Amino acid sequence: MASQMTVAHCEEMSVMIDNFTFEPAQLTVKVGTTVTWTNRDDIPHTVVSAGKFRSKALDTDDQYSFTFTSAGDYKYFCSLHPHMVGMIRVE
Ligand SMILES: [Cu+2]
- pLDDT > 70: what percent of the chain? 89
Q: For the domain bounded by 12-90, which CATH number is listed?
A: 2.60.40.420
Which pLDDT score, from 0 to 100, does residue 5 have? 58
54 Cα: distance to centroid of ligand 1 (angstroms): 13
- Report field, pTM of the whole predicted structure over 0.85: yes
44 Cα: distance to centroid of ligand 1 (angstroms): 6
pLDDT digits (tens, 9 = 90+) for 3-24: 555 655 568 999 999 999 999 9
Buried b (16+ CB within 10 A) or exposed e, 40-58: ebeebbbbbbeeebebeeb
Which pLDDT score, from 0 to 100, does residue 18 have? 98
2 Cα: distance to centroid of ligand 1 (angstroms): 36
52 Cα: distance to centroid of ligand 1 (angstroms): 18
Task: Using pLDDT thresholds of 50, 70 and 90, give the confidence band for residue 50.
Answer: very high
